[in-house]
């Protein structure tokens, strides 16, 4: 068990680890290999995390560091641009090991596809490079304690 996974398994905190650089995968075969490695690690404590309602932080970090978060980025922007069939298989493999881990990065892939289809070249360059460097795109939703996405409690205040 890697020390990152070990620390997360034995920690009572539910905090995200620091972002680390990500590997850039080259093709579909490497993506599938990385998915199998991640699934093997995630499977170890998936039931316990689910029972304790803890997020799989170490496994999310492994997902990102392994290069899986950037497998849909086009080759002309430095990514492997794997097939849709491979992306689906990657999600099948990791979701079978830990459904939470399979669900968390789905929004990132949707946003990357949207940028790929509609973004201008500057947006593509900035966003794709960031993801290749190990950044993750998170999901935005309702605030904690609110009933739905239309109920907002946050306010922006101008200072200075």
Task: Give per-residue pLDDT as tens, 8-17.
Answer: 444 455 565 5
Distant-in-sequence, close-in-space partners of 14: CB < 8 Å, separation ≥ 6: 54, 55, 57
Instruction: Tell me whether residue 25 is exposed, middle or buried, using C-beta atoms within 10 angstroms of its C-beta: 0 to 12, 13 to 18, 19 or more.
Output: buried
Tell which CATH architecture fits domain 3-132.
Orthogonal Bundle (1.10)
Closest CA to 78 of 10, 125, 146, 15: 125
Instruction: State which residues of the chain have pLDDT below 50.
Output: 1-11
DSSP class of 22: -
C-alpha to C-alpha distances, 135 to 11, 76, 129, 154, nearest whole angstrom: 23, 19, 9, 25
Place of tokens 């497998």: 71
Query: Would you say 23 and 70 are in contact if contact means Cβ atoms under 8 Å apart?
Result: no
């Amino acid at each position: 068990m890697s020390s990152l996974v070990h620390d997360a398994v034995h920690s009572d905190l539910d905090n995200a680890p620091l972002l680390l650089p990500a590997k850039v995968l080259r093709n579909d075969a490497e993506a599938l290999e990385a998915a199998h490695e991640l699934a093997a690690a995630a499977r170890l404590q998936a039931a316990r995390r689910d029972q304790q309602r803890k997020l799989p932080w170490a496994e999310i970090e492994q997902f990102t560091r392994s290069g899986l978060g950037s497998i849909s980025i086009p080759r002309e922007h430095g990514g492997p641009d794997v097939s849709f069939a491979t992306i689906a298989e990657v999600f099948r493999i990791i979701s079978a090991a830990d459904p939470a881990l399979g669900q968390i990065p789905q929004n990132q892939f949707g946003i990357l596809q949207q940028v790929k289809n509609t973004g201008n070249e500057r947006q593509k360059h900035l966003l794709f490079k960031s993801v290749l460097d190990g950044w993750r795109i998170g999901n935005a939703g309702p605030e904690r304690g609110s009933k739905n996405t239309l109920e907002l409690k946050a306010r922006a205040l101008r200072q200075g």
